[in-house]
C-alpha cells in the first residue's frame, strides 16, 4: 500500500479557470433529443466549457491565469516560489516540459524546480503528494498546477466521451509551515493492466502517427472515432471506479485511524453522476456533504476536485477550517484517496479565459 503522511505543509489557496466557450449537450446531434435528456439525467452533464481547437488556448493558459490571480490575492513574492509541478496530459509541446514554459511566463526564479507529471483524473491527489513531499523539509513555497484540455481527444461522433469531457485548469499554492501545518494523508494506487480502458492508441512512440491513425472506425452505434481520439470502455471504467475507490477509502480510514463521519465534505472526481452516486452511497455519505458540479462543467479530469472547491466551497474554505476527503481516479489506471485539512485559505472567484 502506498500510504503517504505529509508533515510541515500548509495549503494557502486554490484557484481555477475554465474556457469562456460553452458546449451545450442539448444542442448536439450525436443522439436523439430523448436520448440526450436521458443522458443528462443519468450521466449528469448538461454543458461543458471547451477551448476552441485552434491552439489559441492551451491547458497552460488556463493554469497560468489561475496561478497569476492566486499569487496576487496571496500577495506572494514570486522569488519565494521554488517548486512548480504541472500535472497534465495535454501539454503545449511534446518537448520541452510545459512546466519550464510556465516558469518563464510567471517570472519565477531560475532556482525554481519545474517539471511535468503525465497523469489525468488522479492528477490532483498524486500531484498533492509529490509537491508536498518536496516542500515538507525545506522552507519554501510551491505551486501545483493541474489541468487538461481533453476536449481535443473527443471524437465529435463518440457519444460516450464527446458529451462528457470538460476543459479546465487550476492552481494550488502550498508552503512549508511547522506551526499551522495541514493534515495531508494519502493512499495512492496504480493498475497498468487496465491501460486499454482509457487510451489514445496512436500519436506516441509505440504507435507513431500514420495515415491509418486518422481513419474513423465505428465501434457501435453512436461511437465512431479514430486512433487519435480517446477510447473509453465505459463498462470497465464504471466497474473499476465503484469497486476500487470505496476500497481505497476504507484502507485510508483504517491505516490513518480516520473517522469519516467527522469529515466536512467528500470530494469525488466528477467522472459521471452515476459513479459519484455509487461511491457516495457505498461510503454512506449524505448528499449535502458530497458537492457536485458535473452538470455545468462535465468531467474535467484532474482539475475536478480543485474546481469543486472553488465552485461549491469557496465561502467555507475562506472563513473556517475544513476536513475534506478526496478521491481521484481514472486513466492509467491510476487512483488515490486523501484526507486533507484547510484553514481559512484564499479562494478567488472562478476565472474564465
Share of the chain above pLDDT 70, in %: 100
- The tens digit of pLDDT for each residue in 197-210 reads 999 999 999 999 99
Nearest partner of 296 among 154, 176, 178, 166, judged by Cα: 166
Distance (Å) of CA 213 to CA 53, 210, 229, 277, 316: 19, 5, 9, 36, 48
- The tens digit of pLDDT for each residue in 283-310 reads 999 999 999 999 999 999 999 999 999 9
pTM for the full predicted model: 0.97
Q: Which whole number is the average pLDDT over 307-322?
A: 98
Query: Does the pLDDT of residue 1 top 90, yes or no?
Result: no
Share of the chain above pLDDT 90, in %: 97
Take residue 44 and report the three cell numbers written for it: 449528469
Per-residue model confidence (pLDDT) at position 308? 98
- The tens digit of pLDDT for each residue in 121-141 reads 999 999 999 999 999 989 999
Q: How many domains does the chain have?
A: 1
- The tens digit of pLDDT for each residue in 244-264 reads 999 999 999 999 999 999 999
Residue 295 domain boundaries? 1-353
- CATH number at 282 reads 3.40.47.10
**Beta carbons of 59 and 147 less than 8 angstroms apart:** yes
Give the 3-state secondary structure of residue 353. Answer: coil
Amino acid at each position: 500500500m502506498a500510504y503517504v503522511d505529509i508533515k510541515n505543509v500548509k495549503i494557502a489557496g486554490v484557484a481555477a479557470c475554465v474556457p469562456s466557450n460553452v458546449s451545450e449537450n442539448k444542442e448536439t446531434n450525436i443522439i436523439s433529443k430523448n436520448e440526450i435528456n436521458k443522458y443528462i439525467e443519468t450521466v449528469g452533464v448538461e454543458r461543458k466549457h471547451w477551448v476552441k481547437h485552434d491552439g489559441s488556448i492551451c491547458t497552460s493558459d488556463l493554469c497560468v491565469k489561475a496561478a497569476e490571480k492566486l499569487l496576487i490575492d496571496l500577495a506572494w513574492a514570486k522569488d519565494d516560489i521554488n517548486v512548480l509541478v504541472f500535472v497534465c496530459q495535454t501539454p503545449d509541446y511534446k518537448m520541452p516540459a510545459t512546466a519550464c514554459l510556465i516558469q518563464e511566463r510567471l517570472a519565477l526564479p531560475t532556482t525554481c524546480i519545474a517539471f511535468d507529471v503525465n497523469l489525468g483524473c488522479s492528477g490532483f491527489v498524486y500531484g498533492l503528494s509529490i509537491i508536498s513531499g518536496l516542500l515538507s523539509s525545506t522552507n519554501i513555497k510551491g505551486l501545483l498546477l493541474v489541468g487538461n484540455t481533453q476536449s481535443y481527444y473527443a471524437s465529435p461522433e463518440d457519444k460516450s466521451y464527446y458529451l462528457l469531457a470538460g476543459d479546465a485548469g487550476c492552481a494550488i499554492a502550498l508552503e512549508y509551515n511547522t506551526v499551522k501545518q495541514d493534515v495531508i494523508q494519502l493512499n495512492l494506487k496504480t493498475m497498468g493492466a487496465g491501460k486499454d480502458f482509457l487510451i489514445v492508441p496512436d500519436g506516441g512512440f509505440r504507435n507513431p502517427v500514420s495515415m491509418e491513425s486518422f481513419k474513423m472506425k465505428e465501434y457501435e452505434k453512436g461511437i465512431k472515432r479514430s486512433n487519435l481520439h480517446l477510447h473509453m470502455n465505459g463498462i470497465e471504467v464504471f466497474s473499476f471506479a465503484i469497486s476500487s475507490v470505496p476500497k481505497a477509502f476504507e484502507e485510508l480510514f483504517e491505516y490513518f485511524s480516520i473517522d469519516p463521519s467527522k469529515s466536512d465534505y467528500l470530494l469525488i472526481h466528477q467522472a459521471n453522476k452515476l459513479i459519484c452516486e455509487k461511491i457516495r452511497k457505498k461510503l454512506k455519505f449524505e448528499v449535502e456533504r458530497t458537492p457536485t458540479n458535473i452538470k455545468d462543467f462535465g468531467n474535467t479530469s484532474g482539475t475536478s476536485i480543485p474546481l469543486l472547491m472553488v465552485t461549491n466551497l469557496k465561502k467555507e474554505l475562506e472563513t473556517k477550517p475544513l476536513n475534506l476527503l478526496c478521491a481521484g481516479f481514472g486513466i492509467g489506471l491510476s487512483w488515490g484517496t486523501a484526507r486533507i485539512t484547510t484553514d481559512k485559505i484564499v479562494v478567488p472567484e472562478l476565472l474564465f479565459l
